Each structure stands twice: as C-alpha cells, then as structure tokens.
Chain A
Amino acid sequence: MNARIQARFAQLTAENRAALVTYICAGDPDYDTSLKLLKGLPGAGADIIELGMPFSDPMADGPAIQAAALRALRAGQTQRKTLEMVRQFRQHDKTTPLILMGYYNPIHRYGAADYMRDASEAGVDGLLVVDLPAEHDAELGPLARQYGIDMIRMATPTTDAQRLPKVLAQASGFLYYVSLNGVTGVGQADGARVRDAIGAIRQQSALPVCVGFGVRTPQQAASFARDAEGVVVGSALVDCIERAETGEKALEAVLELTGQLAAAVLSARQ
C-alpha cells in the first residue's frame, strides 16, 4: 500500500473517525483557482484528495462533473498541467494523500509507462481509472505497483458476492464503494443497502471502504461516516464552483462546504 494512504488511514483509525475525501476537477474553473483550492482543502478538513483529470467524454459522470471537466478543458487544462499542479501541491503538503481520478484515454495517449513515472515523481499516491475494470488490470496495475501508486478499485451495487473477489484481487489503498446505480452526483443512496454492502465487503477484505456517488450534504456524509472508513463528496463541491461568480468566491464556497462536511464526518462517531 502507498505509504501516505496507509499512514492516513492508520491515523484516522486511531482517532476513530472516517476520512473526508473531497473531489475537485483539476483546472476547474482555471489553473490558478484550482491550485488554490487544492492547497486549501486539507486545512478546511479534507483528509484525502481526489483530483479529477478532465476528459472530453466522462461516461460515468453526471451533469455537475461533466460541466467541471468541460470548464477545465476550455481553460486549457492538460494531463501535464494536472501533474504540475500535483507537484506544486506537494511542495507545501507532504502528508495528505492525493488520488488522481479519471478515464483511461488521456493516460493511454500520454503513454502508460511515462505517465506512471511522472505521476509518481509528482507525488501522486493513488489512481482511480473509472473505465479500467479489474479485467484490464494488466494495463496499469504492474506499473502502479512498481511505482508505489495504489490502484483504487470501485465496487458497485451490481458487484455481487461472486464477482467481488475479482475486484478486490488487485485493489489497494482503499475500496471505493459506489453507493447507487447511476452516475456521479445524481440520485440518493439507500443507507441500509450501503451498510449491508459494506458488511459483505468486510467479510472478504481488510481494505478501508470509502463511499461515494450520491453523497451531497453534511447529513448524508455523517450517516455514511458511521460505518465506512471514508466518505467521498464531489458533485456538491463542484457545484459550488459552477455557481460562484468569481474564482475567489468559488474558493470560499468550496472550503466552507468542506469545513461543514468535515465537522459532520467528525461528529458521526461521537
């Protein structure tokens, strides 16, 4: 397991609280604002950062994150700039785990081996490639393990008990549990079903479980934070950027919501 991710979950376990995992899209709404957001998130209460790599065709994402990717691409974001952003972030934060999340094609175009080397050097800890299921682990998995980058895998309500071992086989860091059938930011998870699913995963794996998709409010985050090791919030934060009239206001709104989410997650087990 990647050292930063491992240390962070060890710390959270000791403090008996779940991780707040925040998603923003790199370069949204522009490079400078996005970098400020990135740097501000840990202070506002984010325990782990998921940084989206914008892609023109984000098939698993709902309207909020689609729009975020388009804003970033229009502002000129590229894979190289995203890695540069990570590099700049790492100069002032050595402990917060950073996961890059996105789709395979931009990595494929960059060249898998070059990409993993550059990502590792920039300070990336984990990689979640949405359209690279366990069946295609050979594409990036061996390189990731060579560079000490965790391949974060997703399990979903459609992943049954029979299939779960396959998903878990090459997973590391944590398991991302997708709380509903659908795309990011649309719909609401069924708490009881998610609890059952986490229970089933625990029988097969010791990996921390982070719950995402359909988690928007501090209340929802708190409800999942009782059972899961982490809660992922993305679309609700990205919506703050969309609504903001200026970069400064976006920064303010995202960090404020992050603070509220962090407080809710912290209170969940008290």
Chain B
Amino acid sequence: MQTATPRFSQGADAQGQFGTFGGRFVAESLMPLILELEQAFNTAMAEPGFLAELDRFQAEFVGRPSPLYFAERLTALYGGAKIYFKREELNHTGAHKINNCIGQILLARRMGKTRIIAETGAGMHGVATATVAARFGLQCVVYMGATDIERQRDNVARMRLLGAEIVPVTSGTGTLKDAMNEALRDWVTNIDDTFYLIGTVAGPHPYPTMVREFQAVIGRETRQQMLDREGRLPDSLVACIGGGSNAMGLFHAFLDDATVRMIGVEAAGEGLKSGKHAASLKGGFAGVLHGNRTYLLQDDDGQITDAHSISAGLDYPGIGPEHAWLHEQGRVEYTAIDDKQALEAFHTCCRQEGIIPALETAHALAEVSRLAPQLPADHLMVVCLSGRGDKDMPTVLRLMEEQA
C-alpha cells in the first residue's frame, strides 16, 4: 500500500480553519465558551480513559461496529460496480447521528455540564440527543423549526418520550437554520450549565472537527472491513450531504488514499435551476453563518435563503467547512440529486435489498444508480446507508398518493 501523506486528513489549523473555510465567527460572548470546549475536547481525546469509555458505549449502547453489507441484488440490477452498504441505519436510533451524540455527551459530562441543548431538522439528531441525555440523566432541550415539527411528528413524539423538551422555533423561516440560531441564543444566555450538542460538521471551531472525529469511526471500520473482505481498499465512496457529517465520517479515513474516489451528494430539491434546492456547493456562494465560513445559499445582498428538499435532514442552507475545502482542493467530487431521483432510488432500495432507507440516504443511492452501471465489475463502491426511512413514511405515502 502507498504511504499516506496527511495532505487532506490534516484537519483544521490553529484558527480552526480548513484553508479559508471554517473559523470561529461568533459573538464575543460565545468566544470564551468555544475556546473552553476546544480545550476540553483536545484534553479528552488525548486520554486513553476517555477513548476507552467512548469505545465501550459505541459497542454496547450504539451497537458498533455496523456491518459492511454486500448489496448483491442492487449490484446485479445496475450491472457494474460491486456495491457495499455501510449499515449506519442499524445503529441505535436508526442513523449515524448517535455516533457523534455519544461522544459529545461523554465530553459534556466531563465538563460538568448538566443541561444539553440541540437543534434538529428531520428530528434524527434530536432523537439521538434526547436518547443520550436520557441515558446519562441530563436535562435536554431541543430546538426545532415549527415547520419541521409539523412534518416530523413521529420524531417529536420520540423525543418527548425520552424526556426532552421541544421548543418550536418560529423566528426566521422556522426551519433548521433558525433552530440553530435559537440554540446559539440559548447557549449564550445559559453559559454556566449548558452544553450545545451540534449535530453536524458545521458551527464554529471546534465543532466541525469534533463531530468529524466522532463520526470518523464509520470510515475506520469501513476501511478494516473492506480489507478483511476484499483484501484491498474500496475504489469509491458515496454519501449524502446536508451539513455533511455522515460523509465526513466515511471519507476521513481515506482522504490521503489517492486511489479512493469520493462523491458527496447534495440535495437538488426541485432542481438546481428552480432555485428550490439545498445544494450549497453547487448553487451557493462562500459566506459566513453559524460560526464558520463555508458555501451558503444566499441572495446578492448576503441574506440567507431557504433550502428546499424532500428530505428534512438535507434542508440546510450551508455545508460543513471541511467539505467546502475538500471541494476547492478537488479531493472530493460533489454532485446533486433532485427529489424525484431520490424517491426513485428509495423505492428501488426497498424492493431490491429489503432495506427502507432514509430519504437523505436515498440521495446517495440515486448517485450510485448513475455511477455504478458505468463502472467495471471489479470496482468496489461503498455507500453510506446513513439512516433508516421509518420517519419518512408519511412523506413517502403522501407522494405516492399524489402520483397515483
């Protein structure tokens, strides 16, 4: 195997920047808090005791390692690349989100914090946060856009069962970005006891790095599982991107392996030209929001515009800063899949593999359906099955009725 030079996996610099992206663009009132968090995170990650505790919870509470599964019928259907699923939907709470939540909650406990706040869009991160907060007996407050509460009722019910308080956010446009604004306002008001558990590789430094570190277990396992099974590294990796945490988690362990092609899939909503999409890289401009510089959906005046996608989890007008950097470096390819293509891939996966994927994940599967047929049979492709689709039943049923 080639020797890896840490060109792409090196991560953020001392200012928390990936090239010009990332950083700590927060009000002075938050600055001491994120500096304290960064220090606590770095200290914890250097302690074998913390890492051992993290491993134990990943194994016994989350259910890791998640399997690497050969999608035999999908492979036969597309007649090209050999397709593997990294089964993150089998984790406790049904998505990759809990990998990060378990890491951050252990950190919160070390820091002596007693109140956990989080933002959520589709509700998967909210459910995962409520779950770990319940496990450790910590108070949990989840900010969720009023619009999202309406379309994700099951997850709202789950969070309440787990003891979390849901705060509907009506400010702005009442979606994920506004929930994040509101969580930041809460944090700056309740600085002493509160830990803000961000769900994706965005926000001010150290969040993009911290969330990626806790999600990187996906790629580390995939690497070992593929070596065990095929005796070599995969040729390509595919993952969907809202903020981009499952993609960063899968990609990170392979960034310095030049032979591994990586594709991040944004949500094109009703199409990139329609203006109704969530593709920050494909249809946005560099800017600063929620503490970091990255690509953002915005108008000519620098006002943030709404994201649109069939999947609430991709409905964010930004993207993690490390993705923005990897995009500019040309290391990762970024594409976009629209609602219709995602829905088609969703149905195909249900029927071919007996797995109901999340609509977010269906975007990655749609990209696989485009790529796989063009590739040879010895091409090893891994797609991150980031979440299961139970939460999407109402949306899918409604769309099926509309089409019927």
Contact = CB atoms under 8 A, between A and B. Distances in A.
Interface of A: 55-60, 62-63, 66, 70, 73, 78-80, 103-110, 130-136, 153-160, 163, 167, 178, 181-183, 186-187
Given A131-B291, A153-B28, A159-B28, A73 B23 contact: no
Contacts, number: 119
A262 B8 CA distance: 57
A59 B179 CA distance: 10
B298 A109 contact: yes
B189 A186 contact: yes
Contact of B189 (A66, A103, A181): A181
Interface string B181-198: 100110011110000000
A66 B304 CA distance: 14
Contacts of A182: 185, 188-189
A134 B190 CA distance: 23
Contact of B32 (A63, A103, A154, A160): A160
Given A106-B301, A106-B302, A57 B289 contact: yes
Interface of B: 15, 23-33, 171-172, 177-178, 181, 184-185, 188-191, 285-291, 293, 296, 298, 300-305
B32 A133 contact: no
Contacts of A178: 28-29
A189 to B, nearest CB: 13
A128 to B, nearest CB: 11
Contact of A155 (B28, B30, B303): B28
A79 B300 CA distance: 10
In terms of DSSP, what is the predominant structure of the interface of chain B?
mixed
Contacts of B185: 59-60, 62, 182-183
Nearest to A109: B302
B188 A105 contact: no
A18 B30 CA distance: 28
A109 B31 CA distance: 24
B177 A79 contact: no
A103 B293 CA distance: 13
B171 A56 contact: no
Contacts of B25: 104, 131-133, 136
A230 B116 CA distance: 37
A110 B285 CA distance: 12
